[in-house]
Amino acid sequence: MDFDLVIRNGTVVTASDIWESCDIGIKDGTIIAVGPNLPAKAGVDIIDAEGAYVTPGGVDCHVHLSQVYEAGVDDLERSVVTDGAIPDLPNYVADTYDTGTRSAVAGGTTTVVTFASQMKKDESIIPVIEDYHKLAKDQSYCDYAFHVIITNPTENIVENEFPRMVEEYGITSVKLYMTYKPMRLRDYQILDVMYSARKLGITTMVHAENTDIIDWMTKSLEKKLMTHPHHHGTSRPPIVESEATNRVISLAELMDTPILLVHISSAQATKHIRDAQTRLLPIYGETCPQYMFLLADSMRKGDFEGAKCVCSPPIREDKADQDAIWAGIKNGTFTILSSDHAPNKFDHPNGKQRGLQHGNLPYGKFRHIPNGLPGVETRVPLLFSGGVLTGRVSPQKFVEVTATNPAKLYGLKKKGSIGPGFDADVVIWYPQATFKPFNLTNEMLHHAIDYTPFEGVEFKNWPRYTIIRGKVVFSHGQVVGKMGYGQFIRRGKSLLPGPRDVWLSEWRP
Ligand code: URP
Ligand code: ZN
Ligand code: ZN
Ligand code: ZN
């Protein structure tokens, strides 16, 4: 066999197996052979893995880049005055495709799925998709695909444009919000989306939080001057997530439609997902490293420092919630681990520090803090170092939730595993004996954000090489890939179980 590149002597891990002293033979960006002592002709590139773990490149299917949100600061204020609603979104995220995917490859992620977001006023999602294509084209270091966020599911969109989204644009998933004023859908609208999604084999992602509880609690807390960043968590106790999770599972059961509950943070919501799976419903769960590695005390720091850890759902108070998330990763309740990279600068008037505006308090108002954390670079190393190397999860489970399952769930057929025919997207780790553990500082990261919620966390390993389609893009701490190397990936339908044709009444679609 003719190879362009051979990776020698790795401990190669897939979602099911580990092979020691194993080589990987790569030709034209594709893996064509896996096994011991592959023959390589003179002149073929060789990388010696020196016995270290070799894992599939990370597939991160929840990444916000160059994303525009509906409301700006002034609009937020006005809407409070006019209708009493509680707006709580930033109007953009601070990483572009350039900086965000540079950060991804430096942390062992080789494919990201980002969001093209409809605004409520948009009557068509086709220009939205085209716009995000323009933002990403020639700007990405790693391969990428899109989900579409649906904020106004008109009849034309769900009936006529969803089929085009799937067939013409290769986009086979949408995200819906049950909270955030500019984005949330009523249950009726969620059913409209699910009805069409079922027919077309679209995977529906849902941000499940009860918006009215959040609004009511936030107003009440403000009256009591309980507006410190950590009261973001006070306003959204686990029941907020649990109620909405249970409700949207019910809608999905009625419609016999597969859904993915995104960024699950609590034991209660995990149990709803587990129970639905036990009843054989096609309900999938996603969690994120912040819910595994952080607790709510991270939001209590200082007058305002805690704003750095404000995301939704909030990082939980109770260690029992964290333990339930770990258990859910281990027992398969969570299909995937994503970063939910939603980057806002800290020291910026339109970033986290917006929370200090309009407050007259040293700790401002949590309501004005843009939600979301940066984490696309730390996701894979955190679970490897804090999960595999501590013995909390197996190497195979690590591969399953960071690469294989995300690829299967979202129809990325050539991504997420190591075997003949897969894209040669590979991470080579350091041989454990040679690695000097270090404590993370934000300066080490490659995003455009001025902080990381994981500052100071000890890492016992880190990707030594990141390889995309046979090309080294990150090596020994340096990004060596080029912006624009990343390609848009058209996706197929989910490879995981879908509708069952089980109905709750005489009604049929
Ligand atoms: O707090 C979060 N997660 N912000 C990002 C937007 C979202 O809900 O995914
Ligand atoms: Zn969300
Ligand atoms: Zn308090
Ligand atoms: Zn998100």
* pLDDT of 429 over the 90 cut: yes
Backbone Cα Rg of the chain:
22
Q: Distance between CA atoms of 444 and 114, rounded to whole angstroms? A: 23
Q: Identify the burial level of 118 via C-beta atoms within 10 angstroms of its C-beta, where 0-12 means exposed, 13-18 middle and 19 or more buried.
A: buried
* pLDDT of 343 over the 50 cut: yes
* pLDDT of 55 over the 90 cut: yes
Listed residue (152, 115, 107, 193) closest to 452, CA to CA = 107
Q: How far is CA 331 from the centre of its chain?
A: 20
Among 62, 147, 214, 311, the mutation site with the greatest number of ligand 1 atoms within 8 A of its Cβ is 311
Q: Distance between CA atoms of 47 and 379, rounded to whole angstroms? A: 25
Q: What is the pLDDT of residues 215-250, one digit of tens each?
A: 999 999 999 999 999 999 999 999 999 999 999 999
* pLDDT of 72 over the 70 cut: no
pLDDT value at position 70?
A: 64
Q: Distance between CA atoms of 269 and 243, rounded to whole angstroms? A: 8
Q: Distance between CA atoms of 440 and 462, rounded to whole angstroms? A: 11
Cis bond upstream, residue 313 (ω within 30) = yes
Q: Ligand 1 atom closest to Cα of 310?
A: 1
The token duo for 334 is 């969570």
Average pLDDT of the chain to the nearest whole number: 94
pLDDT value at position 1?
A: 81
* pLDDT of 89 over the 70 cut: no
pLDDT value at position 91?
A: 59
pLDDT value at position 360?
A: 79
Listed residue (425, 502, 415, 427) closest to 470, CA to CA = 425
Among 112, 181, 299, 340, the mutation site with the greatest number of ligand 1 atoms within 8 A of its Cβ is 340
* pLDDT of 410 over the 60 cut: yes
Among 371, 373, 379, 449, the mutation site with the greatest number of ligand 1 atoms within 8 A of its Cβ is 371
* pLDDT of 156 over the 80 cut: yes
Q: Which residue has the tokens 């003949």?
A: 420
Q: What is the pLDDT of residues 446-503, one digit of tens each?
A: 999 999 999 999 999 999 999 999 999 999 999 999 999 999 999 999 999 999 999 9
The token duo for 20 is 């020691």
Q: Ligand 1 atom closest to Cα of 62?
A: 9
Closest residue to atom 4 of ligand 1, CA basis:
372
Q: What is the pLDDT of residues 444-456, one digit of tens each?
A: 999 999 999 999 9
Q: Distance between CA atoms of 33 and 196, rounded to whole angstroms? A: 41
pLDDT band at 87 (very low <50, low <70, confident <90, very high): very low
From the CA of 312, the nearest ligand is 1
pLDDT band at 349 (very low <50, low <70, confident <90, very high): confident
Q: Ligand 1 atom closest to Cα of 177?
A: 8
Closest residue to atom 9 of ligand 1, CA basis:
340
pLDDT value at position 13?
A: 99
Q: Which residues line ligand 1 (CB under 6 A)?
A: 64, 207, 263, 311-312, 340, 342, 371-372
* pLDDT of 81 over the 80 cut: no
pLDDT value at position 69?
A: 72
Closest residue to atom 2 of ligand 1, CA basis:
372
Interval between CA 282 and ligand 4 midpoint (Å): 21
Interval between CA 498 and ligand 4 midpoint (Å): 23
Interval between CA 7 and ligand 1 midpoint (Å): 38
ipTM of the complex: 0.93
Max CA pair span of the chain: 75
